């Protein structure tokens, strides 16, 4: 199959790649760009482990053909915080123990971040809806929901200073 060029922005930086048009965004993120925080779970868009934010919307990267990413802005878990300065959602997940095995965590965090970017003061139903496409086999969702609410509260507090 003929390879094609694709240009997009990844974690704030321009990317130009020559790719197989049959590749998914997940394939490119993990295999070509070596950003392994985005997890490959089911490969069918059912588990949410591969969730990234594309043009402000949480998407299952395993379902996004790479050619659909042309001109888009993509954020992965590696682009939202680091060890020294984690994103408020990452910090809340750690502080409240919303992490067990950690496999679902990057996708949960990206879905939560997408929610808070659009809805800075979400209610319980909005939080549940935002993470409804992310499956966690370990924790149940009580601590995860609490972490998203705590992150929302922290962002609200920081923005009011």
Per-domain residue ranges for the chain?
A: 4-79, 88-159
Torsion of CA 141, 64, 9, 102, to 10 degrees: 30
Residue 79's alpha-carbon distances to 10, 113, 146, in angstroms, are: 8, 12, 23
Domains 4-79 and 88-159 alike in fold = no
The pLDDT profile of the chain, 161 residues, written as one tens digit per residue, is 699 999 999 999 999 999 999 999 999 999 999 999 999 999 999 999 999 999 999 999 999 999 999 999 999 999 999 889 999 999 999 999 999 898 999 999 999 999 999 999 999 999 999 999 999 988 779 999 999 999 999 988 887 87
Angle of helix 142-159 relative to helix 88-95, nearest 10 degrees? 140
CA atoms within 13 A on the CB side of 126: 15
CATH superfamily of 88-159: [2Fe-2S]-binding domain (1.10.150.120)
* DSSP string over 132-157: TT---SSS-SHHHHHHHHHHHHHHHH
CATH superfamily of 4-79: Beta-grasp domain (3.10.20.30)
Report which DSSP code applies to 24: B
**CA–CA dist 65, 32 (Å, integer):** 14
pTM of model > 0.85: yes
**CA–CA dist 101, 137 (Å, integer):** 9
């Amino acid at each position: 199959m003929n390879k094609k060029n694709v240009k997009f922005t990844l974690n704030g930086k321009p990317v130009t790649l020559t790719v197989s048009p049959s590749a998914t965004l997940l394939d490119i993120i993990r295999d070509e760009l070596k950003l392994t925080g985005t997890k490959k779970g089911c490969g069918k868009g059912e588990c949410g482990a591969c969730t990234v934010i594309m043009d402000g919307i949480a998407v299952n990267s395993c379902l996004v053909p790479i050619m659909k990413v042309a001109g888009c802005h993509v954020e992965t878990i590696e682009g939202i915080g680091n060890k020294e300065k984690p994103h408020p959602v990452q910090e809340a997940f750690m502080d409240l123990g919303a992490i067990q095995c950690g496999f679902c965590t990057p996708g949960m965090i990206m879905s939560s971040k997408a929610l808070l970017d659009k809805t800075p003061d979400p209610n319980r139903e909005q939080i549940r809806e935002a993470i409804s496409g992310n499956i966690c086999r370990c924790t149940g969702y009580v601590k995860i929901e609490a972490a998203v609410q705590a992150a929302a509260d922290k962002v609200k507090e920081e923005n009011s200073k």
